[in-house]
């Protein structure tokens, strides 16, 4: 099973027609939120933005098509009234669409001569200020086709392409190129730039080429983490090293794990890590999830430092502890999911429940119910809930921390 993530970057509700999934029922995506649809392999359809009751730009998608690859394209053949892009999740090279289509359209329109504007007045719709807000079907208006190709040729379907014996336009035909295998899909809408945000994580990113860490015991030598699975079933944990680190900032990496570890129920494993490691470990690859954030050797004191964070969700309790004899520890061990209010919970892609993000991400904004509930049952002194300060740092002078997931 894969997923289609429809993200609305704009500050208003946006309606989409859904063809091929969701029972062919339309959806409305809230501002800066994401709706996730199940998409079975070997299925095809379209996600179509709707503007004042008119169909507009559309993402056309075939899941697991010829050769096992996804085929995606962005089409403005029938209309345009906003900016839309489509790509495989975590694969920006597969992106289709002009993320500034309407801005470029307005620029081209205002630079057009009077004769061209006169020929297009029936199919180019303006607001009271003279701004283009929507166009009719490009395929029905040759002059509109020419205008749009001045800025969007090769980025979106403009004409009908090869169809009914016509060879079509090569730039249009090239839009239907294969993706990188069979993956989740991201559709992004905006009135402004529809380029997907550079997220700190990728919720459904398939993980490949992992470096496995054999499960052994908690015997350790050197820098790393003693990882404990306190649950009643085997779990797999993923370690992500930041892409970069700055003064109080970091380029969080959630698409290229450094290591993965399988730990049986109530088992522990020592995970060796380089002293340069600064990142996090989480259970599985899907968000929302509880994070254990840590670095192995800080630049100021060369000790290991870490904390527990619920900012990007909570899929269970976790603690982080020093192993240098100082007995420093933080986090929580009790199950807070079972009594959580329904408004605070979401379903992960694997069907399990978790508490939603408290800080927001490319899938949704901050969940107020989760914030209030976690402040009550955990507190900012045990784990990061809404950023800021107040969470005691756990330091271990021997460059080794113990992280337990419950």
Q: State pLDDT tens for residues 153-194.
A: 999 999 876 556 666 778 887 777 788 888 889 999 999 999
Per-residue three-class SS string for 313-359: CECCCEEEEECCCCCCEEEECCCCCCCCCHHHEEECCCCCEEECCCC
Q: Tell me: the pLDDT tens digits for 287-297? A: 899 999 999 99
pLDDT number for residue 184: 87
Q: Are 277 and 296 in contact (CB under 8 A)?
A: yes
pLDDT number for residue 303: 93
pLDDT number for residue 172: 80
pLDDT number for residue 96: 95
CA neighbor of 348 nearest in space, from 181, 213, 164, 203: 203
Q: Are 312 and 289 in contact (CB under 8 A)?
A: yes
User: What's the full length of the chain, in residues?
Assistant: 406
CA neighbor of 201 nearest in space, from 315, 259, 282, 317: 282
pLDDT number for residue 210: 31
pLDDT number for residue 89: 82
Rg (CA), the chain: 25
Q: Are 70 and 62 in contact (CB under 8 A)?
A: yes
Q: Are 9 and 29 in contact (CB under 8 A)?
A: no
Q: Which residues lie below 8 Å from residue 107, measured CB to CB, with a gap of 6+? A: 151
| Buried-state track 127-136, b at ≥16 Cβ within 10 A, e below 16 | eeeeebbbbb
Side-chain-side CA neighbours of residue 193 (13 Å) = 4
pLDDT number for residue 34: 82
pLDDT number for residue 65: 87
CA neighbor of 171 nearest in space, from 151, 154, 152: 154
Other CB atoms within 10 Å distance of the CB of residue 23: 5
Phi, psi for 61 (deg, rounded to 5): -135, 135
| Per-residue pLDDT tens listing for the chain (406 residues) | 688 989 999 999 999 999 999 999 999 998 888 888 888 889 999 999 999 999 999 999 999 888 888 999 999 999 999 999 999 987 888 999 999 999 999 999 999 999 999 999 999 999 999 999 999 999 899 999 999 999 999 999 998 765 566 667 788 877 777 888 888 899 999 999 999 875 433 333 222 233 333 333 344 558 999 999 999 999 999 999 887 555 444 556 666 788 999 999 999 999 999 999 999 999 998 889 999 999 999 888 899 999 999 999 999 999 999 998 898 999 999 999 999 999 999 998 888 999 999 987 766 778 999 999 999 999 999 999 987 777 888 999 999 999 999 9
The structure tokens listed for 330 are 């933080």
């Amino acid at each position: 099973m894969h997923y289609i993530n429809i993200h609305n970057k704009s500050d208003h509700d946006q309606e989409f027609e859904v063809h091929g999934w969701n029972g062919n029922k339309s959806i409305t995506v809230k501002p800066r939120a994401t709706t996730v649809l199940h998409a079975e392999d070997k299925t095809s359809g379209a996600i179509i933005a709707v503007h004042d009751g008119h169909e507009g730009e559309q993402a056309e998608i075939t899941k697991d098509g010829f050769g096992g690859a996804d085929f995606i394209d962005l089409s403005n053949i029938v209309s345009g009234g906003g900016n839309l892009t489509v790509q495989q999740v975590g694969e920006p090279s597969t992106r289709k669409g002009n993320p500034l289509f309407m801005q470029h359209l307005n620029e081209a329109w205002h630079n057009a001569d009077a004769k061209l504007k006169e020929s297009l007045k029936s199919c180019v719709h303006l607001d009271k200020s003279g701004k283009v807000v929507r166009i009719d079907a490009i395929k029905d208006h040759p002059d509109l086709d020419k205008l749009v190709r001045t800025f969007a040729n090769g980025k979106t379907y403009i004409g009908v392409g090869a169809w009914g014996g016509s060879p079509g336009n090569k730039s249009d035909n090239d839009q239907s190129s294969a993706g990188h295998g069979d993956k989740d899909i991201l559709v992004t809408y905006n009135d402004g730039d529809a380029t997907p945000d550079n997220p700190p994580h990728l919720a459904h990113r398939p993980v490949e080429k992992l470096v496995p860490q054999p499960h052994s015991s908690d015997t350790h030598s050197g820098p790393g983490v003693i990882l404990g699975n306190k649950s009643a079933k085997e779990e797999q944990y993923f370690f992500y090293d930041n892409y970069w680190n700055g003064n109080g900032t970091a380029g969080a990496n959630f698409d290229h794990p450094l290591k993965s570890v399988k730990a049986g129920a109530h088992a522990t494993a020592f995970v060796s890590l380089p002293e340069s490691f600064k990142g996090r470990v989480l259970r599985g690859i899907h968000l929302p999830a509880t994070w254990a954030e840590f670095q192995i050797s800080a630049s100021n004191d060369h000790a290991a430092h870490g904390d527990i964070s619920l900012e990007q969700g909570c899929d269970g309790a976790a603690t982080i502890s020093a192993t240098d004899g100082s007995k420093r520890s933080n986090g929580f061990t009790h199950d807070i999911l079972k009594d959580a209010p329904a408004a605070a919970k979401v379903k992960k892609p694997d069907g399990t429940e978790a508490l939603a993000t408290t800080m927001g991400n490319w899938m949704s904004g901050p969940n107020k119910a989760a914030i209030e509930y976690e402040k009550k049952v955990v507190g900012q002194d045990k784990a990061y809930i809404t950023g800021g300060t107040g969470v005691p740092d756990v330091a271990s002078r021997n460059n080794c921390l113990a992280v337990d997931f419950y």
